[in-house]
Amino acid sequence: MSYDLANLEPLVQQLVFGRTDPSAEAAGGIMAACSLTETQVVAEADIGERPKGLFLTFAMIEAGGHALRGHPDNPYTRVEEDPDDEHGCLLIYEKVATHTLRLSLRAPARTHTAEAISYLAKLAVRHLESEAPEELSLLGMDALIVDPGVIRDASTVLNRSVERVVRFETRLHVGESWSVPRATFEKVAYTLQEGKDEGTQESKEIQL
């Protein structure tokens, strides 16, 4: 699937909520894989009140990424026949960039064990692997426990209970492609002769 590299919001929505339009009803994604509701999934940069209990945060921490293909010295990747022009061809241009999506599962330690949170994180990883195995390369997971008194969000409300957090980052190889038609085929007449001796010459029309 091709995405606009300048706006990856539809991709994030697809992966996290199973939709591309943020105004549409959440229908799947990591949210469903972890058996969460939409109110339990929030953007990491959201400055509002965070959900109580178990919730998931997400953030694109390397928006823009860097180009993997699409170098000026190699402006297009392949040439294909133009289905709309029998004498033309299509130059297929592709750009692929890498981005990093960070996901964190969070829950109070008094109600959720480290094993339970890690299990949910593994469900999220499995979903990503099954959703787009050719587009996603998982970097792995690491678990940590946040110390008491850490500011949990930008609302400056202190969370004074120990919170379990399982966080992992996913490297996304995101691409966009487009084609440009070119009328490059034309017919040229060649004279062909078999053998070294003078013989019958035959004129044939060859399409180049």
Q: What is the pLDDT of residues 10-38, one digit of tens each?
A: 888 888 998 888 888 888 999 999 999 99
- 195 φψ region: left (φ > 0), alpha (ψ -120 to 50), beta (else): left
CATH class of 9-71+95-176: alpha beta
Would you state the pLDDT for residue 208?
Answer: 47
Would you state the pLDDT for residue 91?
Answer: 80
Distance CA 39, CA 56 (A): 9
How far does the chain reach from its first CA to its final CA, in angstroms? 33
Domain boundaries, the chain: 9-71+95-176
Per-residue CA distances from 94 to 11, 77, 137, 175, 206 (Å)? 18, 7, 19, 7, 31
Residues of the chain with pLDDT under 70: 1-6, 62-77, 132-161, 176, 184-208
